[in-house]
Amino acid sequence: MFSTRSNLQAVVGDFRIDEMMRYSLFVPRLYNLCKSLGFEPGNIMPSRAFCSDENQGYPIILITKHFGTFPFNHGIVGGIVATDRHGPHASHGKDLVIIQASHVGYDPDTKTFGTYRRIQTANDATTMSCGKVASVIEWYQGEYRFAQENIYLRRQGETYLVTIDNQLLNDDRDEGLFLQLDRMVELDGGSTVPVQMHSTSRTYRASSGFHAALPAEVWPHDGRMKIGRYLGPELFTFRRVIKGDIEGRSHLEQNLIHPMPWIVTSAEPMLVAAQVNTQAEFDRTFRTIVREKHYQNKKVLFISCISIDISPREGQLFPLTKGVPWAAYIQDGAGGSRTLEQDEIIGLLQEQSADNPDQIDLEDAIDDMEQAQEIKIEV
């Protein structure tokens, strides 16, 4: 009942993050995979659906270098795909690639996810990454902390008791954390009946399954103990009024709200949120690509990933970004298509060479433009 690992797996499925590769390997392998599928060098238009953070710039540089063109912008803050841009993207190239990636920072010193050291700030400040994800889940984390602090456990002889703040018992609220009370307290004729009413809370008999699932020390004979970390994701849901805009400010929150109990109870909430969002965006975007008339009869490769941003060390300008592919959709332009699960797309990428003879030298390309004959614009 309270196995966070197994229940978390039920939310993110088989999404493993141990199969990752540096972007400096991922991008040339992706390019060579495209070539192996019959995509035509020089006529491939890559597109990226990344967050707007500056630490996503290094992957964009690598895409430019290996695909020979600056990628089309398919993304909204948070790694959301702007599917209304499919048509313009399709018109900009013969063969099409879309790379969607939610991102999360990583601190190699503490071995934790969710932060990134920004060397352009006055004091190299370490802040949240992705900031959009952090801002979305902050409210839910606050609601969860309130519940952890305001549910108490105690024991009276052989009777196990749960005391719950009245706010958490108010089902008329428009938003907040709502307990799965029938999983926590003993039912009387199918209803939850308190054994004691207090000024700001109520006490119930704990259900046999609930008290048996928790260690004996959380049920003190003397005094009471806050439920704290034992308030597992199976014991509550969230409700919040979210404006239903499509692919706008609230889209990320809509992707995350249903799995949010598992996100806020996770040891790495930012990582889990990135996994959930990547899965949701792949599923949603894949379906829009299939229906998009401008992609019909064209070769298309769509891949979703997580980008892990490791803060630059002293002397480094860019993060050591690693990519974790989740899934891919491939369309051959002749009516055939297939969806690849994580093991399949990782296996295909690892079969590809990391050497790309078609890559461009960005310095030479910039120098060529600087030396090009001036073209006067007539108005």
Residue keyed to tokens 């939610």:
102
Distance CA 305, CA 290 (A): 19
The phi, psi pair for 301, rounded to 5°, reads -125, 120
Describe the crossing of helices 23-36 and 57-67 by its angle, rounded to 10 degrees. 40
137-147: average pLDDT: 97
Question: Token pair of 203, please?
Answer: 């006490």
Confidence of residue 4 (pLDDT cuts 50, 70, 90): very low
306 has pLDDT over 50: yes
Work out the mean pLDDT of the chain and round it to a whole number.
Answer: 93
Question: Element (H or E) spanning 307, and its range?
Answer: strand 299-310
Which one, of 259, 363, 352, lies nearest residue 32 by Cα?
352
Confidence of residue 190 (pLDDT cuts 50, 70, 90): confident
- What's the pLDDT score for residue 6? 47
330-342: average pLDDT: 97
Question: Token pair of 360, please?
Answer: 């461009």
Which one, of 170, 178, 180, 238, lies nearest residue 202 by Cα?
170
Question: Element (H or E) spanning 326, and its range?
Answer: strand 320-332
- What's the pLDDT score for residue 126? 86
Residues 81 and 252: beta-carbon distance below 8 Å:
no
- What's the pLDDT score for residue 5? 45
91 has pLDDT over 90: yes
155 has pLDDT over 50: yes
- What's the pLDDT score for residue 248? 64
DSSP codes, 64-126: HHHHSSPPEE-EETTTEE-GGGHHHHHHT-SEEEEEEEEEEEEETTTTEESEEE-TTSTT--E
Which one, of 231, 342, 327, lies nearest residue 286 by Cα?
327
- What's the pLDDT score for residue 115? 92
2 has pLDDT over 60: no
pTM check: above 0.85: yes
Residues 263 and 12: beta-carbon distance below 8 Å:
no
Express each pLDDT in 249-285 by its tens digit.
Answer: 689 999 999 999 999 999 999 999 999 999 999 999 9
- What's the pLDDT score for residue 244? 65
Distance CA 236, CA 17 (A): 27
Distance CA 114, CA 273 (A): 10
246 has pLDDT over 70: no
Question: Token pair of 328, please?
Answer: 């891919």
247 has pLDDT over 70: no
* Cα separations in angstroms, 202 against 149, 179, 234, 314, 354: 15, 14, 21, 55, 63
Express each pLDDT in 199-216 by its tens digit.
Answer: 999 999 999 999 999 999
